[in-house]
Amino acid sequence: MIFILFALIIFAFLFLGAVVFVVCVILPPTRGYALSAALWWAVWGPCVVGLLTLAGLGLIGTAIAKEHTHLQQFEHLPSAIGPTYAIVGVIGTIAIASLLAWLHQLLIHRMTFFLFRIYACIVLAGIGSVWGWAFNFWLLGKGLFPLGFVVLPLLCLTFGYVGFRYARQLRCSAPQNLTWITPEEFEGNV
């Protein structure tokens, strides 16, 4: 049962990332950051699952320590650590997600256009699958789940095609320093 909960937490953050991606694509000034913004939110899912796992292990460790040492000094430990753990966990997750999004933005701006186009196609097909699964959950509630077997691949293909076709709009300007590609390779004019 816990694994289903973890899967739903991860899916919720993947869906939030997919929504952020679509919003960023709709707003022209943020298009170049849409992939990194979606990644920022998607990273939260595994981080939250990790934090929940560590919190559960901490509670089990506290119970074992109380049982085997017969010390009551551990009685208030979980309630004292709870808010601090949550705050440190959120700050740590923000730091990890921000670092990964920054690295992602750095790397995708140093890909040749050809590689970026393939990358955008694959990532957007994945975002399409997240939308497809969300649509399938909605169809499941309406009793129309078999229709999802058509919609899911259609959304994957559509998003993938859009990523391939409009990849140029998902990038900002060519990097000026610390780059190993020429502006022509960046733009795909080679």
pLDDT of residue 163: 92
pLDDT of residue 185: 80
The answer to whether the beta carbons of residues 30 and 37 sit under 8 Å apart is yes
Low-confidence ranges of the chain (pLDDT < 50): none
Q: Write 48-52 long-range contacts (CB < 8 A, 24+).
A: 48/9, 48/13, 48/93, 49/6, 49/9, 49/10, 51/85, 51/89, 51/93, 52/6, 52/9
Can you tell me the distance from the alpha carbon of 160 to that of 152, in angstroms, rounded to the nearest whole number?
12
pLDDT of residue 9: 94
pLDDT of residue 109: 82
What is the per-residue DSSP string for 3-28?
HHHHHHHHHHHHHHHHHHHHHHHHSG
pLDDT of residue 168: 86
pLDDT of residue 77: 58
